[in-house]
Amino acid sequence: MSEPQTSAPELKAQIEAERRGRPFLVFRDGDGGQRIVVVEEGTAALWVGRGEAADLRLDWDPEISALHAQIEVVRGECTLLDDGLSRNGSFVGEQRVDGRRRLRDGDVLRFGRTTVLFRRPAESAPEATVAAGQVPAGATVSPGQRRVLLALCRPFKDESPFATPATNQAIAAELQLSVDAVKTHLRALFEKLGVEDLPQNRKRVALAERALQSGVVSRREL
């Protein structure tokens, strides 16, 4: 069974959470709806589990223990703790956590059958070295925006002079997003990479060119 597509309203909610600058967790409940839990300032820990005492309550998943794991918060740094408290374990990616594991922006956590995306907007990904003036100062892209950017640029992999950026429909199919969600990501990317004022029929090509020329996207990633 494939994962539900991220809708434009759901993507907007993620972007709004990202703008707050606090760590947050994104997951789907038992009915397939998106939920976002923000790690508010002053929070020392979040308990993950199926029971009523859990802060991150995943009560629809029978493979999750009543108190399954803990996310410890120290000065905005989040660490997943599972030292055998849960029966089925906790995972970051495909690696089972035995004790403690510091969480990084974009980590995918799994408790039972439920996957949870960890976001820490304040933790910028390593930035590529770019020529001055090619990309606006301070421009950073989120993991989701980066995936859209890579899909947009994929037709340029072989440096064909006839290549054109991938269509919204092709990007949506590759990333399992709705077309509206792709458009929302692209609007943010147009602004971040400084091409929002170009004519509409030039924006997509200019975005791909700027991403490749600046090193934000490299051809070996395509």
What radius of gyration, in Å, describes the C-alpha atoms of the chain?
A: 19
pLDDT along the chain (222 residues), means of 10: 70 84 92 93 94 94 95 92 88 90 91 92 50 46 87 87 89 92 92 85 88 79 82
Give residue for tokens 């998943």. 61
What is the side-by-side strand order in the sheet with 90-92?
Answer: 34-38, 24-28, 114-119, 108-111, 90-92, 95-96
Residue 137: the pLDDT is: 39
What's the predicted TM-score (pTM) here? 0.61
- E strand or H helix that includes residue 153: helix 143-153
Distance of CA 35 to the CA centre of its chain: 14
Residue 199: the pLDDT is: 84
CA distances from 187 to 134, 145, 208 (A): 18, 10, 13
Residue 123: the pLDDT is: 64
